[in-house]
Structure 1
Amino acid sequence: MKPSENLDALLDLYTNALLDDVMPWWLEHGVDYEYGGVTERIYEDGRVADYDKPMWSLGRALFVFSRLYRLIGARHEWLEVAEGIFHFIYPIGEHNKWVWPQTVTRDGRIREPAECIYADGFAIMGLTEYAMATGDDDAMGLALATFETVEERSAKLGTHLAVPEHLVGRAMTHGISMI
């Protein structure tokens, strides 16, 4: 078997797993159709372990659903989820002047205030991809407004953290390169 044939087989395997298993599972178990957004703390059987919503995962989910809609195929359900996430996070960002909190409750109230720029980075990525998928200029403006808050806080020593939680021992963070 040629390496290119192996890569084609892997591409088919991962594409099918994404489209036939991963995304349907998230549509069924991860999307909060009642309050908006997504929840990420879910057991393998689909039961929700905790309804609090980390902002970084909301931004990441906005990115994923928007990007899939834009690049893999214009599936209406992906766009609906992206729109739901956008409408869930918009008032949170607006209320906090585009400085994103760490965690919100199921209904969008702040559980943990902003303590680092991780959530902001994922918000920028999600809002940008959503804007590209929908043509929504307002979403792009919000991504830029968020970027400006990150830039301002980054210029002032001590006004942001790069690590969202305290690390123990020799543990190292990988988050900045992930964003």
Structure 2
Amino acid sequence: MKNYSEVYEQELINNVIPFWMKHSKDELGGGYFNCLDRFGNVFDTDKFMWLQAREVWTFATLYHEQEARSEWLEMARHGADFLAKHGRDAEGNWYFSLDQYGKPLVQPYNIFSDCFASMAFAALYKADPQEKYAKIAKDTFYNILKRQNNPKGKYNKAYPGTRELKNFALPMILSNLALEMEHLLDKKTVDDLLKSVIHEVMDIFYQQDSGLILENVNLDGSFSDSFDGRLVNPGHTIEAMWFMMDLGLRLNDQKLIIKATEIALRTLDYGWDKEFGGIFYFMDIKKHPVQQLEWDQKLWWVHLEALVCMAKAYAFTGKNECREWFDKLHDYAWNHFRDAEHGEWFAYLNRRGEVLLPLKGGKWKCCFHVPRALFQVAKTLQQVAEPAS
């Protein structure tokens, strides 16, 4: 597995990060260009706040944890300056998107802009401990906690009092954000949040009968027999399970690590396309047709998060099944998503594994899942000892 560690680190440093360093920085308008084609050409200048923040996080984290390269810190500061100047409304909520020069385009309806902004400035504070970064991170974080029970607020399209559901994505994100923010928060806040999110993820959304995690449940945690209530997103589950493993490590809770590993393995088996390979994007827990037309696409982040999950599961448990899944995922991901010719990785494949959209950055893809996964796998497997032959 140490050989894998070296391969992933080299891919991060020599192939992926140079692509973003070369093509994404907007010297004129500030921040980063999000929409890049296969070759790195800008095909749209709109800027999406959660993607801007993710790129800040990436470069700040690499500077702090990988290597203190001045150009990485400068890149992180460049994006943070744009975010701090333009990213929030008067109430401190983060817009969804801006134009190239920072004028708002889409209202702050999506709390994930706030989550990743908080994460970005917390990471930048580690790399460059200026109080202004800590303040933005903490102000945003406490605003998230205030909004967590009604994250969309006035932008919620659902009719009140009928089918009110809660979504898996926010507790999943908070389980990671709590650790990302820990150096800026008091111990009680962190401990209370960790207890809450672990309960939500592992007890409320986890279904004991199927061994799977649902994307939406009723407010009381019960099953909703509807499109949204039957929805399973294998990638979300698998990503959340490595968050749970990190929390298990932080809390010295091996039972949590083992349970997360079991759920991840079950989800991989459930979500794997037995005919064409790769992991399905969306599934219906009752095997009904899903409403998402992209249900059978193979997405970059799903497979990269699965690689991180299996690397951690193998490192923390030593289970050979995790090693076998890592090998299988590695072969699929590197043979289908990686662009050896022009750098970075493709995002969207059809069910057969053929490139569907040749973009490298867009409304949903940025400098985040690929570099984070490469970094996490390299770091996780660096110290894994191979069993004696």
Pairing 1:138–2:132 present: yes
Pairing 1:12–2:6 present: yes
Q: How many Å apart are 1:35 and its aligned residue?
A: 1.6
Please state whether the residue corresponding to 1:57 is helix, strand or coil: helix
Q: Which residue of 1 aligns with 2:103?
A: 109
Please state whether the residue corresponding to 1:74 is helix, strand or coil: coil
Q: How many Å apart are 1:84 and its aligned residue?
A: 0.6
Q: Distance in 2 between matches of 1:22 and 1:113?
A: 31
Q: Distance in 1 between matches of 2:115 and 2:127?
A: 18
Within-5 A mapping of 1:28-177: 28-93=22-87, 95-155=89-149, 159=153, 174=236, 177=240
Q: How many Å apart are 1:95 and its aligned residue?
A: 4.5
Counterparts in 2 of 1:97 and 1:60: CA distance versus 1, 3 Å: same
- The amino acid of 1:14's aligned partner reads Y
**Maintained 8 Å contact 2:60/2:123:** yes
Q: Which residue of 2 aligns with 1:4?
A: none
81-90 vs 32-41, greater mean Cα deviation: 32-41
Please state whether the residue corresponding to 2:11 is helix, strand or coil: helix
Larger radius of gyration: 2
Q: How many Å apart are 1:98 and its aligned residue?
A: 2.2
**Maintained 8 Å contact 1:56/1:122:** yes
94-103 vs 38-47, greater mean Cα deviation: 94-103
**Maintained 8 Å contact 2:56/2:76:** yes
TM-score normalised by the chain length of structure 1: 0.83
- The amino acid of 2:22's aligned partner reads E
Q: How many Å apart are 1:33 and its aligned residue?
A: 2.0
**Maintained 8 Å contact 1:98/1:142:** no
Q: Deviations over 1:11-42 (max 9, x none)?
A: 11111111111111101111112221112211
More helix by share: 1
Q: Distance in 2 between matches of 1:93 and 1:114?
A: 9
Counterparts in 2 of 1:110 and 1:137: CA distance versus 1, 3 Å: same
Q: How many Å apart are 1:124 and its aligned residue?
A: 0.6
Please state whether the residue corresponding to 1:58 is helix, strand or coil: helix
Q: Distance in 1 between matches of 2:36 and 2:65?
A: 27
**Maintained 8 Å contact 1:69/1:75:** yes
Q: How many Å apart are 1:88 and its aligned residue?
A: 0.5
Q: Which runs of 5+ in 2 are unaligned?
A: 157-166, 170-226, 244-389
CA RMSD, aligned part only?
Answer: 2.6
Please state whether the residue corresponding to 1:44 is helix, strand or coil: coil
Please state whether the residue corresponding to 1:46 is helix, strand or coil: coil
- The amino acid of 1:64's aligned partner reads T
Percent identity over paired residues: 25
TM-score normalised by the chain length of structure 2: 0.40
Of 11, 16, 21 in structure 2, the residue corresponding to residue 27 of structure 1 is 21
Please state whether the residue corresponding to 1:111 is helix, strand or coil: strand
